[in-house]
Structure 1
C-alpha cells in the first residue's frame, strides 16, 4: 500500500488531529477524524441511503465526522479519466 499524506486539520493541537491520506494503489481515502456521536449515527440511520439497504453499521465500519475545513484535502477527479490527480 502506497499512502500519500493529504492534510491535517489546520492549527491542530498535538492531541486532536483529523488527518486524511490517499491510498495511491486504490484511490481510497483513509480518514482519521472524530467519531460520530450516537445521535448523529441515529440520524444517519433514520435518513438511510439506498431503499431497502440496511441502516445498521457493521462492526468493521464506522461513521466519522470530517470537519468542513478538511474538505480542501479531498482529491477531485478533475481530469475525467477516473484517476486521482497527483498534487
Structure 2
C-alpha cells in the first residue's frame, strides 16, 4: 500500500492537520481531521462502532483531484 499526501491545511498553525491522502491500492481517500466529540452533533448521525467522524474544512477540497482538475487520480 502506498499513501500519497495530496495536501495539508494551509491554515494549520503547526502544519500537521488536516491532511488529505490517496491510497493507490484501494483508490480511496484517507482524511486526517479534527475528531467530532460534540454529543449534540453526533446525535444527528448513525455512526457504526467501527467508524469515526472527523471534521474537515471546506478549504481543503482543493486537494481532491476531482475538484482541482486532476482527473480523479492522485497527485
The bucket for the TM-score relative to the shorter chain is: 0.7 to 0.9
Deviations 1:28-79 (A, max 9, x none): 1111101122222122x2xxxxxxxxx2x22220111111111111221875
The total of aligned residue pairs comes to 72
Whether 1:72 and 2:73 are equivalent positions in the alignment is no
CA distance in 1, matches of 2:10, 2:27: 23
RMSD: 2.2
How far apart, CA to CA, are the structure 2 residues paired with 1:16 and 1:26?
24
Structure 1: gaps (5+ residues) = 46-54
The answer to whether the 8 Å contact 2:24/2:74 transfers is no
Dislocated runs of 4+, deviation >4 Å = none
After TM superposition, the score normalised by the length of structure 1 is 0.68
Q: Which residue of 1 aligns with 2:73?
A: 85
The structure that has the greater radius of gyration is 1
User: Where does structure 2 lack aligned partners over 5 or more consecutive residues?
Assistant: none
